[in-house]
Amino acid sequence: MGLPKTTAYLVEWFVRYTKNRDLLFRKISEIKEEDDKVLVKQKDGKTLLYYIQPFPCEFAKLAESIQQDQKGLVVYNSRENFENMMKEWKSLTEIRGLTIYFVNPFSKLEKRWIISPNIHSKISDAQSLKEGLNSMYLMVDPISKEEVEELTK
């Protein structure tokens, strides 16, 4: 049956992005795709596991289910995803090693923005948090579930 096209497209984009990002550093020894997961093994022995979930309902529950020390979620840069992350922000800040990639491969601006809630919570001012994260969100064109479905047919 395979993955839904919206997920398969995001997996393909993320693998290509990861390989391109590594061209300079050459840290990656292997990248494995398994359904909606991407496993990145580095030459230094570190392993990073990314769950590709276009529109997750529960960010924290999903992140906590990933057993790797270094883990990531890759989602589309939708308003719904941004709001869901903000609702769960407190829980997300307690998950060490978590990185969240908000992606819009079709954006005319930046294609992605990245946040590590645990680290970000330690260095940011709590009072300006939502405004700062919203600014990051707006650096990439927002995309809706319907637009993604249409563009990945």
Looking at residue 2, its pLDDT comes to 86
1 pLDDT band, cuts 50/70/90, is low
Q: Check: CB of residue 15 under 8 Å from CB of residue 6.
A: no
- In angstroms, the CA 76 to CA 54 distance is 5
- In angstroms, the CA 36 to CA 103 distance is 15
Model pTM greater than 0.85? Answer: yes
User: Any bridge partners for residue 98, and if so which?
Assistant: 71
3-state secondary structure 49-85: EEEECCCCCCHHHHHHHCCCCEEEEEEECCHHHHHHH
Structure-token match 């991407």, residue found: 38
89 pLDDT band, cuts 50/70/90, is very high
Ramachandran quadrant class, 35 (left: phi over 0; alpha: psi -120 to 50; beta: rest): left
Closest CA to 40 of 71, 78, 9, 67: 71
User: Taking all residues of the chain, what is their mean pLDDT, rounded to a whole number?
Assistant: 95
Q: What is the mean pLDDT of residues 15-20?
A: 97
